[in-house]
Amino acid sequence: LKVVLSVLDEKKSMGVVSKEYSVAKSTLNDWIRKYQSDGIDGLKESKTWKAYSQELKRQAVDYYLAGQGSLS
């Protein structure tokens, strides 16, 4: 939030803020867009990323090691 507000409230340039906080300009732009459309909720961690179970990961590794899959 502090990074986004540096641009919006303090009127710092995106270039200055991206260097100051070591954040890519594209990432900063995404955060600003999300904040402007959804407020602080737009900056919360997304719940859409799916975690895979240990069993599914193990099966994928076994499948690959058996020569039945590829990394691409």
Q: Looking at residue 47, what is its pLDDT?
A: 66
pTM score: 0.60
Q: Is residue 71 part of a domain?
A: no
48 vs 2, higher pLDDT: 2
* DSSP-assigned letter for residue 1: -
The per-residue pLDDT for range 14-65, each reduced to its tens digit, is 999 999 999 999 999 999 999 999 898 888 876 666 677 788 888 888 888 8
Residue 55 is assigned to a structural domain of this protein: yes
Q: What is the DSSP string of 9-72?
A: TS---HHHHHHHTT--HHHHHHHHHHHHHHGGGGGSPPS-PPPPPHHHHHHHHHHHHTTS----
Residue 72 lies in a domain: no
What is the structure's pLDDT at 57? Answer: 84
For 56, the domain range is 2-65
Q: How many angstroms separate the CA atoms of 61 and 14, rounded?
A: 43
In a domain, 60, yes or no: yes
In whole angstroms, how large is the CA radius of gyration of the chain? Answer: 20
Report whether pLDDT(2) > 70: yes
**In the prediction, which pLDDT does 61 show?**
87
